[in-house]
Amino acid sequence: GAAAAKAAARRRAAQSKAKSSTHLWAGGMAAVAVVGVVVGWFRQPAPPAVAQAPALRVQCDEDSYNPRVDGCSPDWCFREVVTDFASPEEVAALASLADSGMSIGGGGSGPVSIFDMTSGAVSHGSQFLSAFDLLSQAGRSLNQTQLDTFQAVVDRVGERVKQMMGLTTLYPASPSFFSRIESGKPAKQLNDEYWHPHVDTRQYGSFIYTSLLYLNTNQDQYEGGEFVFTDTPKQPGSTLRPRAGMLLMFTSGEENPHHIQRVTSGVRYAVTISWTCNEKAANTRRF
């Protein structure tokens, strides 16, 4: 009746609002490729796990960072892994926030589901809805304690990037999103094909530094899905495995092409937190 018609109208409005964010996922599920991570730097076979891998310097692709921004653009490029960056309590709060957000849209039609914390775009079959609009229309909100945890972790990651690189300026970028990859589901659209190699500066434009926090553990909650830095003429590749609470950071340019191997069983979670030097592209939303 009338109630059903009003609900349908709200869904159509939210879907229309979310279309402006859909292009972020076109061309392959790029940042989900950053979902895989890290027990240590290794080529197969893997050596014993390490508590922390010092930043590995790689030769920058200078064209990836033009025009340069003083105090923000990288003077050197890198890959770094930090285990136990997030506490078990933080990981649990973020995983719950991811599931809460994705439940608003019902999840993707294929293996990949997304909840973008900058735009509110959330997977709804083969499309995206605006989770923030739907919550507002329903008079509901996400758990504030979990949102506070998300914001605190984002701020801590940003400070680590700034300190390591000696930056005076750094802006949160868009998208910054939770991703869930489920095994056993065939790809239904290009967004579902998370295994293709890609470069973040080309995929997203504004990315300068990429950081990934992992919310569950490879060979525990899921199999497959290893993260792979692809070989380049200047740098050999690396294959990495994830653990809950681990942080992977790297410069987003051509020096760090990457992809993830297919998840063969279970479900894996991560959150991508991106950074830019372009103030006009900065994400100003805080929770």
Token pair of 22 as six digits: 């859909």
Closest by CA to 146, choosing from 104, 107, 90, 87, is 90
Tokens for 109, please give them.
């039609």
Amino acid in the structure at residue 182: E
So which residues are the catalytic ones?
A: 268
CA atoms of 163 and 119, how far apart (whole Å): 28
Among residues 253, 176, 229, 220, the alpha carbon closest in space to that of 36 is found at 229
Phi, psi angle pair for 79, to nearest 5°: -135, 135
CB burial readout 223-233, b (16+ within 10 A) else e: ebbbbbbeeee
CA distance 191 to 172: 23
CB 217 within 8 A of CB 225: no
Identify the residue whose tokens are 């990651």.
Answer: 157
Which residues in the chain belong to E strands, given as ranges?
A: 52-58, 77-82, 107-108, 112-116, 121-125, 127-130, 171-172, 177-182, 209-214, 222-224, 227-229, 238-240, 247-251, 258-260, 263-276
Contact 64, 252 (CB under 8 A): yes
CA-based end-to-end distance of the chain: 37
